[in-house]
Amino acid sequence: MKHHMNEARLALYLHGDLADAERWAVARHVEACPECQNTLDDLSRSHELLVGSFEEPTPNELAALRGAVVARMRTHRRGQDWRIWTFAAPAVVAMVILLANLRLQTQSPPPRVAPPAVPPVAMKLSQPPPAIARKIEIARVRRKRLAPGARAVTLLTRTEQPAWLKIKTSDPDVVVLWQLNENEKAETP
Amino acid sequence: MEMAAVSLMCHFAVEPESLRLLIQAAKAGDLASFEQIVVLYERSVLRLAQRLLPNREMAQDAAQEVFLRLHGKLGKFQEEKDLGPWLYRITVNICHDLRRRVKPGLPLELAPILPDQGLNPEESTLLAQQRELIAAALDGLTERERDVIVLRDLEGLSTAEVARILGSTATTVRSQISTGRVKMKNFVMDQLGRNI
């Protein structure tokens, strides 16, 4: 026979990787062509050697794999737990501090001791009226009129207590509280 | 217990629903369920790694890495899909990475012949020579030719499945298979001819 089959085609024919029509054509050719039959035999021999050279994993290898995977999984999980706590711990501490503060703020003030009974007239004459907290906003000006970063200035006064200037800045987390001396106290309207 | 697997690459016959429940539980963090998944697939993963990597130590490392990666990505896995092709793909990728990273061009060492294999000294010698021959023949293939030969001729997957696992087309895979088979045949016959 003058023409022989392409080896690549024979290699595909060997394990049924050709379409039906092509497979029949190759089968007919190989039957009549001893050289192509030899090539096919060589391909088959090579395949047999390939398959015979590999073994299944041994039970020991499988057990070692399983043990190592499980051990690494447990280590990984412990690592994950620690990583979670690295982030969670500060959050928990912050939460506890916040709750403690809230609780302190919401606690009712200690009961006041009732002042001795004094006739109203006497009280009016000898004592000033009871202190009333006053909050007077004296300025809420545009940013450009204040120092860079300052947004608003508020004067907080309480009778018989030094006055405070509260300066809000452009950073919502930063508020400047400035205690005024007596001679600095601004005039209140 | 060894039976035809319902799932590709799964060594044991498992009902798809049972497998789905196992995956679901493992996704929820149940380590015991994940261990069962490992048991189902460990043989196939390790076997494939042993066939793709130069030695069995590297194959162990690769197989471990496959299951750790599976655990890490299980959350994204759709339970109704077959885990097999996905595991094949991960195993092939990890073996490539390991082979390139550890020692490029490391020659393939096939499994040593153990005394309990029941072979006489002559047969042992012959088998050892045969393995050396095949290892050398496989070393002569390109990475992709070797992948397709291992997946198609050793793992017995169809051309379409191999194409899907390697992210290629059936035509390309068919071409690589034929080239790989012919190269191996030529090498083996050349070596056998010299030894005669």
Q: What is the pLDDT of residues A112-160, one digit of tens each?
A: 655 555 444 444 444 554 554 455 444 444 444 566 677 777 777 766 6
3-state secondary structure of B104: coil
Distance between CA atoms of A165 and A157, rounded to whole angstroms? 9
The DSSP line for A37-90 is HHHHHHHHHHHHHHHHT--PPPHHHHHHHHHHHHHHHHHHHHHHHHHHHHHHHH
Q: Is B79 left (phi over 0), alpha (psi -120 to 50) or beta?
A: alpha
Say what the ipTM of the complex is: 0.82
On whether the CB atoms of residues B153 and B173 are closer than 8 A, the answer is no
Are residues A48 and A61 both part of a single domain?
Answer: no
Q: Cβ separation of B177 and A11 shorter than 8 Å?
A: yes
Across the A:B interface, residue pairs with CB atoms under 8 Å apart total: 113
On whether the CB atoms of residues B15 and B6 are closer than 8 A, the answer is yes
B194: amino acid identity, one letter: R
* Number of domains forming the structure of chain A: 3
- Residue B1's pLDDT is 41
Domains and their CATH numbers in chain B: 1-106 (1.10.1740.10), 119-196 (1.10.10.10)
Name the token pair of B152. Answer: 């198609």
Name the token pair of A150. Answer: 């300052």
Residue A121 lies in a domain: no
Distance between CA atoms of A83 and B28, rounded to whole angstroms? 19
- From chain A, pick out residues whose CB is under 8 angstroms from the CB of B149: 50
Residue among A39, A49, A61 minimizing CB distance to B46 = A61
Q: Is A43 on the interface with B (CB under 8 A)?
A: yes
pLDDT band at A186 (very low <50, low <70, confident <90, very high): very low
- Residue A184's pLDDT is 52
CA distance B196 to chain A (A): 15
Q: Cβ separation of B64 and A45 shorter than 8 Å?
A: no
Closest alpha carbon to B108 in B49, B176, B66, B166: B49
Are residues A144 and A180 both part of a single domain?
Answer: yes
- Residue B178's pLDDT is 95
Residue A112 lies in a domain: no
With the CA atoms of B186, B57, B86 and B4 taken in that order, what torsion angle do they form, in degrees rounded to the nearest 10?
80
Residue A15 lies in a domain: yes
Residue A108 lies in a domain: no
Sign of torsion over alpha carbons B187, B188, B193, B196 = positive
Residue A117 lies in a domain: no
On whether the CB atoms of residues B187 and B140 are closer than 8 A, the answer is yes
- Residue B139's pLDDT is 87
Q: Cβ separation of A62 and B188 shorter than 8 Å?
A: no
Distance between CA atoms of B46 and B61, rounded to whole angstroms? 9
Strand partners, A136: A155
Strand partners, A158: A161
Q: Read off the pLDDT of residues A43-101 as tens digits, 9 standing for 90 and up.
A: 999 999 999 888 889 999 999 999 999 888 888 766 666 666 666 777 777 888 888 88
Are residues A95 and A69 both part of a single domain?
Answer: yes
Q: Cβ separation of B71 and A7 shorter than 8 Å?
A: no
The residues in A 71-110 lying below 8 A from B, measured between CB atoms, are 72-74, 76-77
Give chain B's length. 196
The residues in B 150-179 lying below 8 A from A, measured between CB atoms, are 152-154, 159, 174-175, 177-179
Residue A111 lies in a domain: no
Are residues A75 and A32 both part of a single domain?
Answer: no
Distance between CA atoms of A67 and A74, rounded to whole angstroms? 11
Q: Read off the pLDDT of residues A31-59 as tens digits, 9 standing for 90 and up.
A: 999 999 999 999 999 999 999 888 889 99
* Structural domain containing residue A157: 133-184
Low-confidence residues of chain B: pLDDT under 70: 1-13, 103-118, 194-196
Task: Answer yes or no: is pLDDT of A187 > 70.
Answer: no
A151, A156, A171 from A148: Cα distances, Å: 9, 22, 11
